[in-house]
C-alpha cells in the first residue's frame, strides 16, 4: 500500500468495518495530532499514514487484519509514555489509539474482588473511580500512564508492598493477537500466554481489557509524606541511612516508600544538584516518626510534611500528578535505569556528580536522578516462576532512573544525553557485587533500547527460551516488535 493510496484505502476499506464509536484520523488533522501526541515527542517519532481511534475490541482486530493484508506495520498507544528508541522504527504505519477503551466495571460476581478495566484507561482514572467506592489497587507512579501498559512490563506501584506488582494483579486479559484473532488469557485459557503477558506482554498482543484485583480501602487509611532538602555534602550519609531500611537480606516495611530526586534547584544551590529525599509511610505521623528520625538527624536544609488520605493524591504528593513532568509533552528525555538491592554510597556519588554536571549544560537544566525504593514484600511473595517478570526485578529493592532532559528535536543535546546516560549506567553497575548478588536487571518499562534481553527479561536461560518459543507460536511474523523485543 503506497503512501498515496494508503489514506484512501484505509477510509474506504477499513472504515466501514469499524464500530460507530471509532474514527480514522489522517495526517494534518487536529485529531491526528491529538491522538499521536506522546511523551518524548522529538526523540520517539514513529511515522503513520493514519491513526485509528478505536471504540471497541473488534475495532482493534479489524485494524490489525487490515494492516496485515496490506503489509503495514502497526503500533498501539494508550498513555504514550514509552521511551524505547525502537518505537521510531515504525515507518508508514497505522497507530491503534486505545483511549476509547476507557472503562472500569467492578465485578459483581465475586463480591467486588476484581474489576474489568479497559486497555486505554489511565492510572489516575482507575484510582479516582475506585476511591469513590471505597476500593484501591496497585497502579503505577505516574498518574497519566495507562494501567495496562505498565502492568504488562511488571509494574511497580505504591501498594506493591501489600499486593505485589501490577502484573501480579492481572486475573485475566482480553488480547488481540498478531493475526487479528481475539483470545482470553488466564490460568485456564491460554495459560502460557497468560504467563508471558505478565512481564513481557507488549511482545504478544494488544490487551483490550483486564480483569484486575481490587481491594477494600482500610478504615482510616492515610499516608504521611515528609519531604527533605539536603545539600550534596550529605549525599553519602543519606544513602547510608536509607540502607538501614533496605538491603540484600531485608525488605522495607510494607507501609514504607523512600524516594530521592537529585535535582538542580538554583535558588538553593546554583552550582550543585540538591538531594531531595522523601519518606512516604502508610500510617499516622507518629507511626512514621521512627523512619523519619534518622534522616532528620542529618540536619536537612528544610523539612515539610503532609498527610494524604486519598490514594489518587499520592501521585501529586510524590511529584507525578496529572500536571507534573510525567504529564508534560514539551521536552525530550533519555532515561537510563538499573534495579539494585542497596545503595552503594561511592557509586551514588559518581552517579550524582555526572547528573549534577549534566544539569548545568544548556537545555539540560531540568534533568534529574530518580531513586525509587518500594516496599517489595508483596512482590517477593509471588513465586518467581509464576510470571514473566524476571527474578532480578522481584528481588530488587531500588529502582533507579536517570532522566536526561533536553530540547525537543535538538540532535546535539540528544547525543550528549545518550553519552551521559551510558556513564550513569556504568557508575551504578560498578557498585554491584555480581559474585554475591548476581547480575543486575533493568526495568523493562524504563528501558530505552540500550538494554540486553537478559537485563530486561531475566538471566535464567529457561525464561528466554520459553518466551521465544511463545513468541514463535503467537507472533511468528514478529508484528509486535517495536518495544523491547524478545
Matching CATH number, 223-457, of 1.10.3720.10, 2.60.120.40, 3.40.462.20, 2.60.40.420: 3.40.462.20
Collapsed DSSP state (helix, strand, coil) of residue 152: helix
Measured CA to CA, the distance from residue 102 to residue 209 in angstroms comes to 9
416/404 Cα distance (integer angstroms): 9
208-258 pLDDT tens trace: 999 999 999 999 999 999 999 999 999 999 999 999 998 666 667 899 999
| The pLDDT of residue 383 | 97
Q: What is the mean pLDDT of residues 353-367?
A: 93
Per-residue pLDDT, averaged over 271-282, amounts to: 97
DSSP 241: H
Average pLDDT over residues 39-58: 95
Would you tell me how many other CB atoms lie within 10 Å of the CB of residue 153? 28
Query: Within 243-328, where are the H helices?
Result: 285-296, 314-317
Largest distance between two CA atoms of the chain:
69
Domain boundaries, the chain: 6-97, 104-217, 223-457
Q: How confident is the model at residue 326 (pLDDT cuts 50, 70, 90)?
A: low
CATH label, 104-217, candidates 3.30.465.10, 3.40.50.1820, 1.10.3720.10, 3.40.50.10140: 3.30.465.10
Topology, domain 6-97: 3.30.465
Predicted local distance difference test score (pLDDT) of residue 5? 54
Handedness of CA 55, 56, 58, 63 (dihedral sign): positive
Supply the pLDDT for residue 2: 56
Q: What is the pLDDT of residue 4?
A: 55
pLDDT at 7: 77
For the record, the C-alpha cell of 51 comes out as 491513526
Start-to-end CA distance of the chain, whole Å, equals 28
List, in order, residues 6 or more apart from 290 with CB less than 8 Å away.
Answer: none
| Non-local CB neighbours of 263 within 8 Å, separated by 6+ positions | 273, 274, 276, 359, 366, 368, 369
- For residues 301 and 296, give the distance between their C-alpha atoms in angstroms, rounded to a whole number: 10
> Is-same-fold flag (6-97; 104-217)?
yes
pLDDT above 80 for 91: yes
Nearest to 42 by CA among 355, 336, 363, 319: 363
- Candidates 388, 374, 366; CA nearest to 340 is 374
Task: Pick the closest to residue 379 from 339, 335, 338 (CA basis).
Answer: 339
| pLDDT one-digit tens code per residue, 145-171 | 999 999 999 999 999 999 999 999 999
pTM of the model: 0.96
The 8-class DSSP code of residue 323 comes to T
Half-sphere CA count of 118, side-chain side, radius 13 A: 21
pLDDT value of position 250: 61
Amino acid at each position: 500500500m503506497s503512501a498515496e493510496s494508503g489514506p484512501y484505502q484505509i477510509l474506504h476499506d477499513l472504515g466501514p468495518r469499524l464500530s460507530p464509536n471509532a474514527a480514522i484520523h489522517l495526517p494534518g488533522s487536529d485529531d491526528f495530532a491529538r491522538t499521536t501526541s506522546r511523551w518524548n515527542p522529538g526523540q520517539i517519532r514513529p511515522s503513520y499514514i493514519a491513526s485509528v481511534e478505536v471504540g471497541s475490541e473488534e475495532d482493534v482486530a479489524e485494524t490489525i487484519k487490515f494492516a496485515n493484508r496490506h503489509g503495514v506495520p502497526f503500533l498501539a498507544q494508550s498513555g504514550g509514555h514509552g521511551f524505547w528508541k525502537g518505537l521510531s522504527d515504525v515507518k508508514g504505519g497505522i497507530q491503534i489509539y486505545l483511549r476509547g477503551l476507557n472503562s472500569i466495571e467492578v465485578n459483581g460476581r465475586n463480591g467486588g474482588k476484581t474489576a474489568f478495566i479497559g486497555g486505554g484507561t489511565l492510572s489516575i482514572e482507575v484510582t479516582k473511580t475506585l476511591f469513590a467506592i471505597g476500593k484501591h489497587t496497585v497502579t503505577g507512579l505516574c498518574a497519566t500512564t495507562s494501567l495496562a501498559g505498565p502492568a504488562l512490563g511488571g509494574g511497580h506501584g505504591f501498594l506493591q508492598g501489600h499486593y505485589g506488582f501490577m502484573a501480579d494483579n492481572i486475573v485475566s486479559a482480553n488480547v488481540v493477537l498478531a493475526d487479528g484473532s481475539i483470545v482470553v488469557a488466564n490460568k485456564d485459557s491460554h495459560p502460557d500466554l497468560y504467563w508471558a503477558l505478565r512481564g513481557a506482554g507488549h511482545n504478544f498482543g494488544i490487551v483490550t481489557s483486564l480483569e484486575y484485583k481490587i481491594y477494600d480501602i482500610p478504615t482510616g487509611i492515610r499516608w504521611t509524606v515528609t519531604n527533605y532538602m539536603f545539600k550534596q555534602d550529605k549525599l553519602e550519609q543519606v544513602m547510608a541511612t536509607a540502607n538501614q531500611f533496605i538491603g540484600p537480606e531485608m525488605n522495607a516495611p510494607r507501609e514504607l516508600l523512600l524516594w530521592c530526586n537529585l535535582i538542580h534547584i538554583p535558588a538553593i544551590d546554583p552550582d550543585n544538584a540538591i538531594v531531595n529525599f522523601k519518606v512516604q509511610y502508610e500510617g499516622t505521623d507518629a507511626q512514621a516518626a521512627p523512619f523519619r528520625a534518622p534522616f532528620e538527624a542529618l540536619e536537612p536544609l528544610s523539612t515539610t510534611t503532609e498527610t494524604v488520605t486519598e490514594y489518587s493524591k499520592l501521585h501529586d504528593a510524590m511529584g507525578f500528578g496529572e500536571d507534573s513532568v510525567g504529564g508534560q509533552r514539551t521536552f525530550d528525555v533519555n532515561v537510563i535505569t538499573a534495579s539494585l538491592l542497596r545503595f552503594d554510597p561511592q557509586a551514588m556519588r559518581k552517579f550524582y556528580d555526572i547528573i549534577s554536571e549534566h544539569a548545568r549544560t544548556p537545555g539540560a537544566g531540568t534533568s534529574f536522578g530518580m531513586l525509587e525504593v518500594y516496599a517489595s514484600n508483596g512482590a517477593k511473595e509471588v513465586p518467581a516462576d509464576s510470571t514473566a517478570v524476571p527474578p532480578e526485578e522481584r528481588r530488587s529493592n531500588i529502582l533507579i532512573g536517570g532522566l536526561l532532559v533536553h530540547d525537543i528535536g535538538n540532535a546535539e543535546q540528544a547525543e550528549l544525553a545518550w553519552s551521559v546516560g551510558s556513564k550513569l549506567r556504568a557508575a551504578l553497575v560498578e557498585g554491584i557485587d555480581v559474585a554475591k548478588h548476581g547480575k543486575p536487571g533493568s526495568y523493562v518499562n524504563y528501558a530505552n533500547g540500550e538494554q540486553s534481553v537478559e537485563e530486561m527479561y531475566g538471566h535464567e536461560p529457561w525464561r528466554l527460551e520459553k518466551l521465544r518459543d511463545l513468541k514463535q507460536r503467537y507472533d511468528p511474523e514478529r508484528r509486535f516488535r517495536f518495544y523491547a523485543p524478545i
